[in-house]
């Protein structure tokens, strides 16, 4: 297992040179999927430090942008390692997007990458998407699952409105809804009327796989 504490700190300090040196060193020794997930978890923990410093007024929006670019670059490099063993054919259709009012997409994209690696067909409708856009896409592509990403407190109501839009479109019973992003909790899941939630893309994929297994049984 790769030692990731220093990476977390380097990401938190936005020390690009140290971050890249760590990433390159991690990739140099035939890392496993587990290693790749550990590296991403350290990046995510580093992003939490960035977020805290932003709240404290020590970092600014430009720093958030930079942190985002560091993370996105790492995801690109680690993508090939994020496979899931035993890839079947297409196992389900997922509509994925970031809800209205929220433009964060790094976590959403990571979840998409992991879903695809697990053989899901994913239609990514993008960021800041109104409830109707999710409902229209779910009808059009006959979705099995709708994934809603959100990091802002204000995203919670957008998530609830999106579930309402699925109901209004008459497809709520046909689709499972999963919430993700750093704000989501069990209470928010209940409030929004979703089926499940996760703050971890890997775990979220596991939940989607379980739904598809139960469906085909």
Q: Choose the stretch contacting ligand B12; rule: CB under 6 A; options: 8-16, 20-28, 60-68, 159-167.
A: 60-68
SS (H, E, C) 145-203: EEEEECCCCCHHHHHHHHHHHHHHCCCCCCCEEEEECCCCCHHHHHHHCCCEEECCHHH
The answer to whether 39 and 75 are in contact (CB under 8 A) is no
User: In angstroms, what is the minimal distance from the CB of 16 to ligand B12?
Assistant: 15
CA distances from 10 to 34, 158, 193 (A): 21, 34, 38
Pairing of the two strands 145-149 and 196-198: unpaired
Decide if residue 151 touches ligand B12 (CB under 6 A): yes
Please list the residues that pair with 179 across neighbouring strands. Answer: 148, 197
Nearer to ligand B12 (CB atom), residue 29 or residue 206: 206
Nearer to ligand B12 (CB atom), residue 18 or residue 54: 54
Nearer to ligand B12 (CB atom), residue 111 or residue 134: 111
Decide if residue 93 touches ligand B12 (CB under 6 A): no
Q: Choose the stretch contacting ligand B12; rule: CB under 6 A; options: 2-10, 97-105, 131-139, 186-194.
A: 97-105
Cα(164)–Cα(145) distance, integer angstroms: 15
Site for ligand B12 in 175-204 (CB under 6 A): 178-183, 198-201, 204
**Can you tell me which of 113, 129, 149, 162 binds ligand B12, judged by CB under 6 A?**
149
Q: Choose the stretch contacting ligand B12; rule: CB under 6 A; options: 24-32, 101-109, 134-142, 161-169.
A: 101-109
**Can you tell me which of 11, 106, 159, 163 binds ligand B12, judged by CB under 6 A?**
106
Ramachandran sector of residue 14 (left: φ over 0; alpha: ψ -120 to 50; beta: rest): left
Rounded to 5°, the CA angle 150-130-142 comes to 95
Nearer to ligand B12 (CB atom), residue 28 or residue 141: 141
Residue ranges that bind ligand B12, judged by CB under 6 A: 44, 47-48, 50-51, 54-55, 61, 64-65, 67-68, 71, 101-108, 110-111, 147-149, 151-153, 178-183, 198-201, 204
């Amino acid at each position: 297992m790769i030692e990731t504490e220093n990476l977390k700190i380097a990401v938190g300090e936005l020390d690009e040179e140290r971050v890249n040196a760590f990433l390159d060193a991690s990739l140099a020794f035939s890392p496993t999927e587990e290693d790749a997930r550990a590296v991403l978890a350290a990046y995510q923990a580093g992003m939490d430090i960035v977020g805290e410093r932003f709240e404290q007024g020590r970092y600014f929006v430009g720093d958030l942008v930079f942190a985002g670019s560091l993370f996105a670059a790492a995801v690109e490099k680690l993508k090939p390692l994020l496979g899931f063993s035993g890839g079947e054919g297409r196992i389900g259709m997922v509509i994925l997007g970031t809800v209205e009012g929220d433009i964060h997409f790094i976590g959403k994209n990571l979840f998409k990458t992991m879903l695809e690696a697990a053989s899901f067909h994913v239609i990514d409708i993008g960021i800041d998407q109104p409830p109707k856009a999710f409902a229209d896409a779910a009808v059009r592509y006959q979705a099995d699952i709708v994934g809603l990403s959100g990091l802002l407190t204000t995203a919670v109501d957008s998530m609830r409105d999106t579930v309402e839009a699925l109901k209004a479109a008459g497809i709520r019973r046909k689709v499972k809804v999963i919430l993700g992003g750093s704000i989501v909790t069990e209470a928010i899941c209940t409030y929004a009327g979703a089926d499940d939630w996760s703050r971890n893309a890997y775990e979220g994929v596991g939940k989607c796989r379980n739904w598809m297994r139960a469906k085909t049984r």
